[in-house]
Amino acid sequence: MIFHILLLPFLYTLALAGVAHQARQAPVAPGSLQQVTDFGDNPSNVGMFIYVPNNLASSPGIVVAIHYCSGTAEAYFTGSPYATLAETHGFIVIYPESPYEGTCWDVSSSSTLTANGGGNSNSIANMVAWTTENYKADTKKVFVTGTSSGAMMTNVMAATYPSLFTAATVYSGVPAGCFVSEADIPAAWNSTCAQGQSITTPEHWAAIAEAMAEPGYSGSRPRMQIYHGGVDETLLPPNYNETCKQWSGVFGYNFDEPASVDVGADETTTVYGDDVVGIFAPGVGHSVQVRGDADMQWFGFV
């Protein structure tokens, strides 16, 4: 009887451990796009899809690849080169999926524009945390990229969780905070910003981005590479300059005196400093092609 009484706490501990083990979702099978439904707190009901390569590195990097309006995780998985590049470089790709009708991202509400605020950005950050834990990922090799609405969310992720990412690539977006909704509506459209009419100084844009992170944050921030087309009719071209202003301001670069400007036949590359580069393509519309190989260089995989 005494033995049984002494054994009960031990058995109870084992039972709890078993429940915890069952509750924690096992890492997904490699080589195909898989959904993860239990990655932790998901306050805004964002879908998490993940691609783990067959050729997984021992301490892999992570690329968060965020789709455009009307897109899905599956569409960005098949329409962008990151899964193929993952097999070459051994990193994991996270493809978030918007929960809203029309599948634009919430880059307008106070919840998503605030670190740990309970919005889309919070859910995506928790996906990174789950992946890092389950795959022992290299926290110095976590990157984020996206197209259109996904590019807007890329800027928001870089602003709200600067310590989480090492670098980012933005394809046809707007500055973080530009789409803010005065009515605090998630995934609201902001015509003033979209039409390129939200114009301010680098210092002001920087202050907007910096206010999104945890109070008092003074650590590292992701290197930013910004692409935009000169005949973009969805998010008009002035948004390119305003985005470059924002990140130049964050890093303390002089927007009006960049380190270098290379004018090519099809695009102009402006280096504001080691951490901010802009690529402007005068004859390209809203659908700027994803430059997978260039991203690999920017992210440091090659």
| Residues tagged active-site | 148
| Residue (of 219, 236, 216, 223) closest to 280 by Cα position | 236
- What distance in Å separates the CA atoms of residue 84 and residue 297, rounded to the nearest whole number? 15
For helices 120-135 and 149-160, what crossing angle results, to 10°?
Answer: 70
Asked if residues 92 and 63 have their Cβ atoms less than 8 Å apart, the reply is: yes
Structure tokens at 45: 């009901």
Strands 62-66 and 142-147 turn out to be parallel
- Residue ranges of alpha helices (H) inside 111-216 are 120-135, 149-160, 191-194, 202-210
Is the sign of the CA dihedral 28, 84, 154, 253 positive or negative?
positive
| Residue (of 168, 138, 132) closest to 153 by Cα position | 168
- What distance in Å separates the CA atoms of residue 187 and residue 278, rounded to the nearest whole number? 26
66 in helix, strand or coil? Answer: strand
